[in-house]
Structure 1
C-alpha cells in the first residue's frame, strides 16, 4: 500500500511539469490553430538555458529566478519565430505549418548540441529543496511536493489571466471565432504573438522544472512532445482544465503502468487516447473544433490526366530511372533504391491526404506492419521474397481494415491523432513483445532472393514497384472511386445527398493506402536485411508527411518530387556534415517560406501566372499547359 501511495504522489509531481507544457500547446492551438511540433524544442531549450543559470545561481531564490529568466528568454525566441516565420504561413495549409515547426525542431536539436555539447547534463538539486520526506516509511523528495502544489497554482493563474483580463477575453473570443474577432477590429497579429509567447514561456518553464529530476539531453524534445500531444487530445484541444485532468491521467498511467502492467506499459497512454477519441472525439473537456478554413480544398483548379507532353515527360523520367545504375556505383545505387522505396511510401500517403482529405500522423504503422509481416514469415515459415512481397502488404491491409473502421469516423485533427495512437500502440507492442519481434534488437537476416541480391537488381525491382504504384495511384484518382473520394473531401454533405457513403469510401481508401505503404515496408526490410521498431515510430510518419508536403499537398504525384528531394538531401547531410539536422531543418523552413504550396504546387502556380500574363499581353505561348494538378 505504501508503494502505491508514493507512486501516486510521484505521478502527481510528473503531472505538474507535463501540464505546463501541455497548457502552452493547448493555448497556441486554440487561438492560432497551429499544431506546433516545435513546442518540445522550446521545452528543451528552456531546460538547457535553465541548467546554465542554475549552475551559476545556486541559492533558493536564484533557482527560481533562473527558471523564470530562462523561460522569458525562450519566450522572446518564440516571439521572433512567430513574427519572422509563422506570420508568413498562417494562411498556408495547416499541415505545412506543422512541417515548418518540425524544421524548427531539427534546427533546435543540433543547435543545443553545438552550444552545450552532445553529453547529457546533470543539473544541481533545487537549492533549499534537496531533502526528502518520509511517506509511510518511504522517502519522497521535497521537490516533488513543490511540483504537486505548483500545478494547481499555475492553472489558477492562467485561469485568472484568461477570465479576468481584457486580453484573456480576446483570447477566448479568438478561440471560438477568429473571423468575428478580426471583424471587430482586433489586431490579431499581436494577439497571436502574445499567445504564442505565453505558450512558449510555459513550455520553457516546464523544461526548467525538470532539471533537479532528470538529465538535460538533446533528445528530450521528442520524448516530451508525444506525451504532450496525447494530453492535449485527451483533455480537449484548447481546454486548460482538460489538459490538467489529462496530465494527471497520463502521469498516473505512466506511474502505475510500469508497476502493475510492465508488459504493456507503453501501450496504455495511447490506448486511452484512442478510446477517448472514438467515444468523445473533442476530448474529455473540449469542444468540437470550428474550422475557419479547409486544407482539403484544392486551389489550383480541377485535376486532369496527363496530356501528350505529360506522358512524354513521364516516359523520359522512367527511362532515366532505369538507366541510372549504369552511372552510379553500388553505394549510389543503394541510395537510389531507398529513394524508390520512399516514393512508394510517400505516394501512398499522398493518395490518402490529397485525394481523400485524410491527414494521417501514423502512416508508419502500415509500413512497419508490412515489413514485420514479411520478416516474421521469412523467419518462422521460410517463405521466399517473392511471396513476402504479397504477404507483407496484405498484413498491413488486414490491420487497416480494423483500424480504419474506427479512424474514418473522425475527421481533421482528430483523425490524425487517432492514426497516431494506432501507430504508437503497434510500436509499443512490437517494442515490448520481445519473444516474437525481438524487441529493440529487431529481426535480422531478411535478405532478398539471389536474383535480386545485387544493388542493381534490387534497384530495378524497387523501381518497377515504384512505377507500378505511382501508376496505380493515378489510375485510382481518375477512376469513379477516386472521384467519389474527392467529392467527399470537398463537400461531404453534397456527396451524401447523391448517395456516396463517406465511411465506406474513405475506409477503402485507408486500406488501399495501407496496402501500398506495406509494400514499401517489405522492400525496406529486404533492402536493409533487417527491421527494427523504429520503422513504426513517429519519426517515420513525419518523414512521410515531409515528403508529401515538400512536393505539394494539392497535387496527385507531388510526393514523388518531395521523396526524391528529401531523401537525397537527408542522406547526403547525414554522410557529409556534423550537424545534419541543423542544415536539413533550415532547408525545410526555407522551402516552406519560398514554396508555400510545395515544390510542385508553387512551380505550377508560377508557370500558370506567367502563361496568364503572356496571354493577357497577346504574346503567343504555344499550346496551353496541362493543368499542373496532375503533376
Structure 2
C-alpha cells in the first residue's frame, strides 16, 4: 500500500461512479414521476452494452465507435418508450407492488431476448479510439478512457439539471413529482409525460451501459447486478434527488476503491480481507445511512405513511362451505403421493410446492396484514436452512430437533433486523431489508471454514425413517400445514387485529394505545420463524444448502408468489406459491428460453388478474353471489304484472 496506488484506485472509483450515476439518475427520474419501482432498469443497462457492441461492429472505425454510444442510448430509450406505452400504461392504477411484479417479468423476457439474439457468450468490445492508451499518474499507468468517464458523470448531471430547471418539460416533471393529479387537472397530457420521462430514464441507463463497453464485457448477468447497485445509490442519495444520487455513487465507489487498496490487513492479530468487502460494502453503506438518516443523504423526510392499496378480505371465520373445501384440499394433498404412484418426480415437486407455500405465507404475514414490504425475506429462509444444516453436521443434533431449533435461529435474525426495519416505511424499509439480506448472504458466502463458503454444505440428510420420499412429503405437509394454520390463528387474535390497525392508520392505532412499532417488530419475528421453518425443510429435502438460498433471487421469488396469488387474501400466498413453482418447473423443462415464457406467463396473469389469482377469483365469486341474491329478491315478471293489474 502506498499513496500512488491509493490515488489510482480513487480515480478508478470516480470512473465507476459515473456509469453507476447514469443508471441511478434514470431510475430516480422514473420513480419520482411514475411511482414505479422499475426492476427492469438494469435490463436497459445490459441492452445498452449489447446494442453498443453491435453498432460499433457494424459502423466500424473511430467515428463508428463514438457514434455507436449515443445511438445505443437512443435505441434503449425507444425500447423503454415502447414498453411504457404497451404495458406499463395499462397498470398505472394497480398497486405499486403489482407494477414491480410486471417489471420483474420484463427482466426475464428481456434476458432471454438478449440470449436469443446475441447468444450466451461474453462479448468484449473494442478499445475506445483515441483513448485506448494510458497516462502516467505518480508513476502508475491509468487508462485514458477512465479519465473520460470521470468527466462524463458531472457533465450529464449538469445537462439533466438544466433540463429539469430551465425548460417547460423540466417544470412539468418536477410538478408531477410533487402532485401528479394536479398536473393532470391543469390539462397536461399525463400519459405522454410519463412516456417521455420513462424514455429519458431508459436513455440514461442505456448510455451508462454503452459507456461501459470498453471497460467490461457484455454478459447476461449485468441486469440484476446493475439494478441492485442502482437501487442502493438512489436510496442512499435520497429518492428523487439527482445530486444525492451522484454523491451516493461517489461515496460507494470510493469506499469500494479504498477496500481494494487496503487488501488484506492484520489488525490486533485478526486477518481482515477488505477486498472481499466489495461484494457487500454498498449494502453496508445503505444500511448505515438508512439507520442514521432514513430518507437518504439529500432526500426529504417522508410524510406519515398511509396504507394505499386494494381492500383486503375481512377477517371472518371460515364458513361451512369453506371448511368443506379446505378439508377436500387437505385430503387431496394427503393422497397425492399415492395417486402419483411410483413417480418420485411428482413427490419432489409437491414437496417444493409446500415449502414455497410456507415461505410465501410468512412473507404475506408482514406484507398484507402488517403493510411492511420486505425485499430481503430470503435472509430468514437461509438462516433456517443453514441453522438446520450446521446443527445436524457440527452439533450432531437429530433432524427432528433441528426442525424446532433452526426456525428459532431465523427468528433471532428477524429480531435483530426487524428492530431497525420497522422504523422505516415504504421503499426505504424494503431496501433496508434487502441490505440486511445481502449482508447475511456475504457472510455466508465468504465464511469458508464455517458455512462452506460458495460451495455450501452437503450431506444434510433426513432421518432414516424419512428416507422414503413419501414419508418426507407427509412430514412436510404436516409441518407446513401447521405453520400456515398458526399464522392464520395469529391473524385472528388481538395481535393480528392490532397489526391491521397499525397498517391502516398508525396515528389512530397509537391514539388508542397500540404500540405500532412493537407490534410490527413482533410480526417480523413471527414471519422470520415461519420462513426459517421453510428453510430447514428445504435443506433436508435437497440434502445440501448453498448461499443461493439467501440471494436476492429467493426474495424476489417470494414476492412473485405473494403478488401472483393475491396480497388481499389469506389463501393468496398458497395459491401463488403452487402456481409459480409449477410454472417455473414446467416451463424450465420445456424450452431453453424458459425465462421469457415464465415472464410472459406472469405478465398475462398480472394483466388478467390485477388483484392476483385468488383475489380476482374471490372478487368474481362475490359478484356472482351478489347477482344471484339480487335475482332472488326481484319478484317474477308475471307476478309483478298481476299485482299491478290488481292495484288498478
- CA drift of 1:617 comes to 4.0
Rounded to whole Å, the distance in 2 between the matches of 1:292 and 1:195 is 26
Structure 1 residues 299-333: Cα deviation after superposition (integer angstroms, max 9, x where no partner)? 25523221101111100000000000012211110
Match of 1:200 among 202, 220, 224: 202
Rounded to whole Å, the distance in 2 between the matches of 1:453 and 1:236 is 52
The reply to whether residue 309 of structure 1 matches residue 316 of structure 2 is no
Rounded to whole Å, the distance in 2 between the matches of 1:619 and 1:50 is 67
Partner in structure 2 of residue 580 of structure 1: 594
The reply to whether residue 325 of structure 1 matches residue 340 of structure 2 is no
Q: Secondary structure at the match of 2:230?
A: helix
The reply to whether residue 453 of structure 1 matches residue 467 of structure 2 is yes
- CA drift of 1:293 comes to 7.1
Contact 1:350 1:557 in 2 (8 A): no
- CA drift of 1:292 comes to 9.8
Structure 1 residues 547-602: Cα deviation after superposition (integer angstroms, max 9, x where no partner)? 00000011112000000000011012222211110100001111111111100111
Structure 1 residues 122-164: Cα deviation after superposition (integer angstroms, max 9, x where no partner)? 1111122111111111111110000000000000000000000
The reply to whether residue 84 of structure 1 matches residue 107 of structure 2 is no
Rounded to whole Å, the distance in 1 between the matches of 2:383 and 2:278 is 21
- CA drift of 1:290 comes to 5.6
Partner in structure 1 of residue 9 of structure 2: 7
Q: Secondary structure at the match of 1:427?
A: helix
Rounded to whole Å, the distance in 1 between the matches of 2:493 and 2:142 is 64
Rounded to whole Å, the distance in 2 between the matches of 1:203 and 1:610 is 47
Rounded to whole Å, the distance in 2 between the matches of 1:619 and 1:332 is 48
Q: Secondary structure at the match of 1:409?
A: coil
Match of 1:346 among 345, 352, 360: 360
User: Using a 3 Å threshold, how does the CA distance of structure 1 residues 288 and 31 change in structure 2: closer, same or farther?
Assistant: farther
Contact 1:341 1:523 in 2 (8 A): yes
Rounded to whole Å, the distance in 1 between the matches of 2:518 and 2:155 is 48
The reply to whether residue 358 of structure 1 matches residue 372 of structure 2 is yes
Contact 1:550 1:598 in 2 (8 A): yes
Partner in structure 2 of residue 24 of structure 1: 26
Partner in structure 1 of residue 645 of structure 2: none
Q: Secondary structure at the match of 1:381?
A: coil
The reply to whether residue 610 of structure 1 matches residue 645 of structure 2 is no
Structure 1 stretch 267-276 or stretch 413-422: which is displaced more? 267-276
Match of 1:100 among 96, 99, 102: 102
Contact 1:58 1:127 in 2 (8 A): no
Partner in structure 1 of residue 301 of structure 2: 288
User: Using a 3 Å threshold, how does the CA distance of structure 1 residues 401 and 293 change in structure 2: closer, same or farther?
Assistant: closer
Partner in structure 2 of residue 563 of structure 1: 577
Equivalent runs, 1:72-471 vs 2, <5 Å: 72-260=74-262, 261-289=274-302, 294-295=307-308, 297-299=309-311, 302-328=314-340, 329-471=343-485
User: Using a 3 Å threshold, how does the CA distance of structure 1 residues 343 and 283 change in structure 2: closer, same or farther?
Assistant: same
Structure 1 stretch 144-153 or stretch 263-272: which is displaced more? 263-272
Structure 1 residues 181-202: Cα deviation after superposition (integer angstroms, max 9, x where no partner)? 2222222111111100000010
Structure 1 stretch 69-78 or stretch 263-272: which is displaced more? 263-272
Flag structure 2 segments of 5+ consecutive residues without an equivalent.
Answer: 263-273, 635-648
- CA drift of 1:401 comes to 1.0
Rounded to whole Å, the distance in 2 between the matches of 1:551 and 1:350 is 10
Q: Secondary structure at the match of 2:368?
A: helix
Rounded to whole Å, the distance in 1 between the matches of 2:461 and 2:291 is 40
- CA drift of 1:253 comes to 2.2
Partner in structure 1 of residue 271 of structure 2: none
Rounded to whole Å, the distance in 1 between the matches of 2:261 and 2:452 is 23
Structure 1 residues 187-234: Cα deviation after superposition (integer angstroms, max 9, x where no partner)? 211111110000001001111111101010111101111111100000
Structure 1 stretch 61-70 or stretch 529-538: which is displaced more? 61-70
Structure 1 stretch 229-238 or stretch 299-308: which is displaced more? 299-308
The reply to whether residue 540 of structure 1 matches residue 554 of structure 2 is yes
Rounded to whole Å, the distance in 1 between the matches of 2:69 and 2:628 is 59
Q: TM (normalized to structure 2)?
A: 0.94
Rounded to whole Å, the distance in 2 between the matches of 1:165 and 1:217 is 37
Structure 1 stretch 196-205 or stretch 452-461: which is displaced more? 452-461
Rounded to whole Å, the distance in 2 between the matches of 1:431 and 1:292 is 36
Rounded to whole Å, the distance in 2 between the matches of 1:512 and 1:408 is 14
| Displaced runs of 4 or more, over 6 A | none
Rounded to whole Å, the distance in 2 between the matches of 1:586 and 1:292 is 33
Flag structure 1 segments of 5+ consecutive residues without an equivalent.
Answer: 621-631
Contact 2:312 2:567 in 1 (8 A): no
- CA drift of 1:282 comes to 1.1
Partner in structure 1 of residue 267 of structure 2: none
Q: TM (normalized to structure 1)?
A: 0.96
